[in-house]
Amino acid sequence: IRIKHAVTLLDYGIDSIKNVALLSGFTDPLYFSNVFKAQIGISPTQYLKNKNEKKDN
């Protein structure tokens, strides 16, 4: 559920991984990134990059 919330925040436009981690209930951004990658398949940074590339096209 926390990772779903993180995806929503990233889609909404919050581009600070640290802020997304904190708003999603994670106290450690590195741990958040590891959990995100394990569940989504890519890092939150790569998720943002992919989202921004799609938006630009």
Question: Domain containing 10: what range?
Answer: 2-56
Closest of 15, 22, 23 to residue 44, by C-alpha: 15
Q: Is the pLDDT of residue 56 over 80?
A: no
Question: Residue 9 is part of a domain; what is its CATH number?
Answer: 1.10.10.60
Q: What letter represents residue 8's amino acid? A: T
pTM of the model: 0.88
Distance, first Cα to last Cα, the chain? 30
Q: What is the pLDDT of residue 11?
A: 95
The domain total for the chain is: 1
Q: What is the pLDDT of residue 5?
A: 97
